[in-house]
Chain A
């Protein structure tokens, strides 16, 4: 059972902006940085955003992250067909002394 809550799905047409929310608590998002992962169908997850809003080398600037209090968001601007994937937020949880993933959001490009 995940302690980070995401909407199960999100969708948009090519070129649109899509936002995914991630809700946690003071022991995880509220006190620690948030990371985001993208999982394309049939592949391993990929780090998309780290420390709330940093992009690893090679990640397009269409992807951006933000955090406020115990919630975080991932925004995809200029949505493209190749963005169709599952997206997970994650953070260290001080109460669990471990890493927790969000419930995951499936993004569909209409």
Chain B
């Protein structure tokens, strides 16, 4: 079965760092772009960026450039999203998803990782 499994929910304080993960299985992880999508409480979907695990080529949304870092380790079929200094406004659900071609959309989604930042 093709799936993406994300790491569990996190509760952090402002200023702390965090790295969440997304592990793929059931397909050639290195061959498909992985994207990250933010959904703030009660709000819509926001595209954050994508990475090609085969060579770690990464593209960020202008809204998230410099705010987060997207990385991947193809040897363990895992993509990451990390923050160096969290803010309360980073409180959201974060989804990873597989991109089946630039125009074909995200066909497989992780279950989501809820990140709560509160003092």
Q: Which one, B50, B103, B109, contacts A45 given CB within 8 A?
A: B109
* Number of interchain pairs (Cβ within 8 Å): 68
> Chain A, 88-105, contact with B by CB distance < 8 Å: what is the 0/1 string?
101110001111111110
A36 to chain B, nearest CB (A): 8
Interface size class of A (residues with CB under 8 A): 20 to 34
Majority secondary structure, B binding face: strand
Is residue B46 contacting chain A, with contact meaning CB distance below 8 A?
yes
For the complex, what is the distance from the CA of A92 to the CA of B62, rounded to whole Å?
Answer: 14
Known: A97-B59, A100-B47, A104-B44. A92 touches B103 (CB 8 A): yes
Binding site for B on A (CB under 8 A): 2, 32-33, 35, 37, 39, 44-47, 50-51, 56, 86, 88, 90-92, 96-104
Binding site for A on B (CB under 8 A): 35, 37, 44-47, 49-50, 59-62, 95, 97, 99-100, 102-107, 109-112
